[in-house]
Chain A
Amino acid sequence: MGEEKLWINMYTSMLRIRRFEEKVVELFAQGKIPGFVHSYIGEEAVAVGACSALEPTDYITSTHRGHGHLIAKGGDLKYMMAELYGKKTGYCKGKGGSMHIADVDLGILGANGIVGAGLPIATGAALSSHLQKNGRVALCFFSDGASNRGTFHESLNMASIWKLPVIFLCENNMYGISMPQRKGMAIDDIADRASAYGIPGVVVDGNDVIAVYEAVKEAVSRARAGGGPTLIEAKTARWRGHFEGDPQIYRTQEEIEEWRKKCPIKRFEEKLLKMGVLDEAKIREIEEMIAKEVEEAVRFAEESPYPEPEEALEDVYA
């Protein structure tokens, strides 16, 4: 793919996440989406930068804040929205909802309701690639809070001794619910922990999609070449509460405003405009295309049926 085409795809993907998430927040407020919703708004550059450096056959593990990862890895908005609604036509037949969307065909081994559960699963997918010699890598998304779980230590250690093709990508948005990073750990950079496992640890600006892309690309090449895992820390922020409805007593409005000014999408857009890769007409065209996709996704979700009660007992065993 030519570089310009790649950039436009990246821009489009970030915008698709933003518009999807804005719609989700609105629908949640209207009571149309049951369960919990953790918005990805503000962190789009991480998912898109990372997934753009992967092949369609590569694996990702996602988190409770997973909508962006899924869209960046090629998730279809229709099946995503239907899943959020709990409809039968959703990615998981309505049984997973926001925190569990998965599409194994796209290499998405699932969003996860258990914080830190993705790390060993990604390690296992990488072990499987290694054993099957199929050249696939696994990329694990997790955030600062998850890095305090034992699974972080155990996974990074195991992946490093076995030189597994896995990329541990920490989306450091500085909070785990109300716990600020500085209270949850005594270090500034989570990437520093890499040295404990003898693997590279890299810090990138998580609101710079190209920086994320470059760092992940390098880690992917190393992984495919048998060089083992990399820990990448992308510094970013979520703009909304931990979950929809969070009163956010633990941070100030000013802090949120500061991060809004660093919008990863605006920033990339300005860059592409300056470079002449994008123009206003093209932006409008992309916006219109996405608006239509989102609208269609909502219509699809609303028109789809709920699962029948007896379906609750299906799919328990293979």
Chain B
Amino acid sequence: MREITYAEAIREALREEMKQNDKVFILGEDVGRFGGCFGVTKGLWEEFGDERVRDTPISETAIIGSAVGAAATGMRPVAEIMFCDFMGVAMDEITNQAAKMRYMFGGKVSIPMVVRTPVGGGLCAAAQHSQSLEAWFTHLPGLKVVMPSTPYDAKGLLKASIRDDNPVIFLEHKMLYGVKGPVPEEDYIVPLGVADVKREGKDLTIIATSLMVHKALEAASLLEKEGVSVEVIDPRTLYPLDEETILSSVKKTHKALVVHEAVERNGFGGEIDHNGEGF
């Protein structure tokens, strides 16, 4: 199978979904001709034009808020927030609007929108450009939260997210954008809510997300030399969470380790730990 980067895989998902469905459009800062701060949308403006690849002013509140309004009225916006750290600027729109509208309106509206945003450290860009804030979003009923670790997953999960009728927070990792992997050319999706066993083992289960999947796989190879067999599970979507795959692995290994990049306190690891009580 041909290999492309994580960023290219995301771009392909956007292109394919935009071609298949004229309701899908992109909005965000510098996403047009500039191609996005990390180059993810490069070439899409040339292909789809100003109307469907919309450069916005520096107005995150209005980017997310207008995506909610457009989604409630028949469109399928894919908004880009340049760094996950800037989501704070639009947290009312995420928390009280996108996540709540359907519920509060008695199910009479759906909000089919995606917010793509990069998380994680690695660029030495200090405390306002390095965070992994997934726990903010998993705490909010009404949202789905996706965190791909490979180009294959990124493409399939983004296509599924765009087709989903709920608001989806799609968390990309900045240090993964250049990582290559096999990605089919034909149309496929990776369904939300299905974990992936990235490596099979029998002594220990590591549940890792995003970039940490790669670190866990490296650790697993090292441990193999010491005779320890590690199973690495990537939940891929934090909500909905595939508890079954995680639980059946831990039933086999009897030991679990959760590895994520975010602050440990009140992090997503605690949630997995809690779900795993009584192993």
Q: Chain A: residues with CB nearer than 8 A to chain B?
A: 34-36, 86, 95-97, 99-100, 112-116, 145-146, 148-150, 176-179, 183-185, 249-250
Contacts and interface: CB of A to CB of B under 8 A. Distances in A.
B178 to A, nearest CB: 15
B58 A116 contact: yes
A35 B127 CA distance: 11
B228 interface: no
A116 to B, nearest CB: 7
Given A97-B126, A99-B128, A100-B126, A249 B33 contact: yes
B245 to A, nearest CB: 34
Contacts of A178: 30, 32-34, 55
A35 B30 contact: no
A299 B55 CA distance: 43
A145 B33 contact: no
A250 B125 contact: no
A250 B33 contact: yes
Contacts of B129: 36, 99, 113
B125 A177 contact: no
Interface residues of B, number: 23
Given A97-B125, A114-B86, A249-B34, 11 more contacts: A36-B123, A86-B124, A96-B126, A96-B127, A100-B127, A149-B58, A177-B29, A177-B34, A179-B57, A184-B57, A185-B57
Contacts of A183: 55
A221 B60 CA distance: 35
B37 interface: yes
Q: Is the interface of B mostly helix, strand, loop or mixed?
A: loop
B223 interface: no
A148 B58 contact: yes
A36 B127 contact: no
B92 to A, nearest CB: 10
Contacts of B62: 150
Interface in B128-156: 128-129
Tell which of B29, B33, B37, B126 has the most Cβ of chain A within 10 Å: B126
A86 B86 CA distance: 23
A116 B86 CA distance: 11
A95 B58 contact: no
Contacts of A146: 58
Contacts of A250: 33-34
A250 B30 CA distance: 10
A95 B123 CA distance: 13
27 contacts: A35-B126, A36-B125, A36-B129, A96-B127, A97-B126, A100-B128, A112-B128, A113-B85, A113-B125, A114-B86, A114-B89, A115-B58, A145-B58, A148-B57, A148-B58, A149-B89, A176-B57, A176-B58, A177-B34, A178-B32, A178-B55, A179-B29, A179-B55, A179-B58, A184-B57, A249-B34, A250-B34
Given A114-B86, A250-B34, A34 B58 contact: no
Interface in B103-135: 123-129
B61 interface: yes
A114 B62 CA distance: 16
A163 to B, nearest CB: 27
Contacts of B32: 178
Nearest to B86: A114
A100 B128 CA distance: 9
B43 to A, nearest CB: 13
Contacts of A114: 85-86, 89, 128
B128 A113 contact: yes
B21 interface: no
A150 B61 contact: yes
B59 A150 contact: yes
Interface string B48-59: 000000010111
B34 A35 contact: no
Contacts of A145: 57-58
Nearest to B82: A177
B14 to A, nearest CB: 19
Nearest to B124: A34
Contacts of A36: 123, 125, 129
Contacts of A184: 57-58
A24 to B, nearest CB: 15
